Chains A and B, each alone.
Chain A
């Protein structure tokens, strides 16, 4: 009985391993194909380009990096994700990077003020807050007013983070008086409290819900102008690969880039 019970799990693990192998070998094939292609996207610049991006862009930029590398043989896109404020600070301290994409314009402005960007940053996406609730929505949350219900536990980002600044605006505009149970340090930490079902609701970005999959459910919030963050991207003046950096900005703002971003839950600029 025990052996029987164990076998499907073993088979599952084997299948997963096989799938992983297949996926990596397929990916390798894909690279080979593009390597043998026309190379029309080549700019003369090869090597590694460093892209710094807000944590919420992890999935979208990951996919775009694959596309970019395919179009530019010999180029490797190195992505680093962190909170926008941390990345902007790193750029201002002289970190070697070619492109910066942040989750709000205030943060990007700190780099513009130091003449850290080439020209004006381009806004390429928007994001707004929604409520994440645990799978099955145990507390029966249907609108933001339900956060005021007795016994409802909700979490937000701390107000030093862009998502927390936005949460304060949204909660004020909705007249919610109940205090959050916790102010988490960033949006991923806020989401994980909901994923673990320790909180009945969390205010997170619409894009985070998409990437969280089926562990959480979404409850929409009103999306007036108060509830909106705009994402700027810019080639940096300290770039080692200025042409590639410019092309990355072009890709992100192109139709192709917009499709990937929309799929990841971002809004149009």
Chain B
């Protein structure tokens, strides 16, 4: 990147035809957030932040979205690798299915999860009949809903990174006697590092903000399934000011975490990736 910018030829001025809409886009994204901050009753913030139900919701959101990301990494990396490196019939179809939860309205995702893992569901039904275990209304159900919606973000990001890195590194590793597993572990995965981290953060952020699938599949009860977005929705019906405060808390927390991650991981990783 640095070498490219040094040898950049004079391209002329950036055209207003691009700059003006670009500025509008930034405004469009920023304005609602600024408006939210403007409407925030700031003096209430500290007292709300330590209110037991908010602490519960925040803690629950953190635990469930982190567990969801762990689950997503465990099954998402192998899937991304398979899509990027293994030729098999129907690969395009599998890739299309991976994207489905991305375009599905989250509430529909929640209903779909119920029909699969509910106690009358395709898989949940037999499990319930045999063991009496029912997934909906549990914290585990929140993790499942989070993982369902965030897995596509992670897989797309990691697969993209793996496809972007040159396959010849894999070939070279193979000619040097490495097994495919060793190549995956020592070559492919490290090269996909930045994409992996970006996918991780995206998946986590998506899980943290998940609402529709969660409330439909897992329900809404303080301490077990009421995550921050659920709490915000409930508050919105009774006390819009409280909802705004909660939204700001969630926004600040997510931005802070993302900024921290960027500081720690992103920049070195990105440099490392573009060097070869």
A198 and B220 within 8 A (CB) = no
The interface stretch among A38-46, A111-119, A181-189 is: A181-189
Q: Does B247 sit at the interface, judged by CB under 8 A?
A: no
Task: Determine how close the nearest CB of chain A comes to the CB of B218; give it in whole angstroms.
Answer: 8
Q: Does B266 sit at the interface, judged by CB under 8 A?
A: no
B234 and A198 within 8 A (CB) = no
Q: Does A50 sit at the interface, judged by CB under 8 A?
A: no
**In terms of DSSP, what is the predominant structure of the interface of chain A?**
loop
B120 and A181 within 8 A (CB) = no
Q: Does B265 sit at the interface, judged by CB under 8 A?
A: no
**In terms of DSSP, what is the predominant structure of the interface of chain B?**
loop
A189: chain B residues at CB < 8 Å are 215
The interface stretch among A155-163, A209-217, A255-263 is: A155-163
A86: chain B residues at CB < 8 Å are 237
Q: Does B184 sit at the interface, judged by CB under 8 A?
A: no
B137 and A181 within 8 A (CB) = yes
Q: Does A83 sit at the interface, judged by CB under 8 A?
A: yes
A-B pairs with beta carbons under 8 Å apart, 24 shown: A85-B237, A85-B238, A86-B237, A151-B132, A161-B237, A179-B221, A180-B221, A181-B219, A181-B221, A182-B220, A183-B221, A183-B222, A183-B226, A183-B234, A185-B215, A185-B233, A189-B215, A193-B219, A196-B120, A197-B118, A197-B120, A198-B114, A198-B118, A198-B134
Chain B residues with a Cβ under 8 A of chain A: 114, 118-120, 132, 134, 136-137, 215, 218-222, 225-226, 233-235, 237-238
List 20 additional A-B contacts (Cβ < 8 Å) besides A185-B233, A185-B237, A198-B136: A85-B238, A151-B132, A153-B137, A158-B237, A160-B234, A160-B235, A179-B221, A181-B137, A181-B221, A182-B220, A182-B221, A183-B220, A183-B221, A183-B226, A184-B220, A193-B219, A196-B114, A196-B120, A197-B119, A199-B137
Chain A residues with a Cβ under 8 A of chain B: 83, 85-86, 151, 153, 155, 158, 160-161, 179-185, 189, 193, 196-199
